[in-house]
Amino acid sequence: MDNTRQTHNIEPIFDSKSKILILGSFPSVKSREGMFFYNHPQNRFWKVLSAVLNQETPQTIEEKKIFLLKNKIALWDVIASCTISGSSDSSIKDVETNDINMILNHCDIKMIFCNGNLAYSLFMKHLFPILQIEPIMLPSTSPANARYTLEKLCDSWSQIIDYLN
């Protein structure tokens, strides 16, 4: 698959009650096709959040939006556009970032979490110098992160609860 310029096509999810912001790197092919975050059936994002918050796993896009807002979670990605081959994080080049201030200026965000090392490293490279906010890196929920079981992911991700009150 050739590297092609892709633009983020999914609107951020947040409202004035959002307390944490979770940032991924860039939507996968499946997420871009489905027009929603973590749309690949093997991605464990929705299972992890549901388990950590002790709630049913949302299935539809509308249920997922309600789930996030009800739990005071804002969700977006670091990258607005980039050159990428398929869904390969390692192929990402020519990064342009999203304007995270769009969320920070409208919510009382207590902490920013990055879903995986790539989101964290991109945030630190491109956004930290501007925002001066250091996020917490959480292990990626991607199926490519096979060394983390669902249980291990839930253990790591459970720290989000501390910032939701």
Average pLDDT over residues 49-55: 98
At 12, is the pLDDT very low, low, confident or very high (cuts 50, 70, 90)?
Answer: very high
Q: What is the pLDDT of residues 93-111, one digit of tens each?
A: 999 999 999 999 999 999 9
Residue 93's CB: how many other CB atoms inside 10 A?
Answer: 10
Instruction: Report the chain's mean pLDDT, rounded to a whole number.
Output: 94
CA distance 51 to 56: 8
- 73 found inside a domain: yes
Q: Are 24 and 5 in contact (CB under 8 A)?
A: no
Q: What is the CATH number of the domain that holds 35?
A: 3.40.470.10
CA distance 89 to 108: 30
Count up the domains in the chain and report the number.
1
Residue 25 above 90 pLDDT?
yes
Q: What is the pLDDT of residue 2?
A: 65
- 49 found inside a domain: yes
- Domain interval for residue 84: 4-158
pTM of structure: 0.95
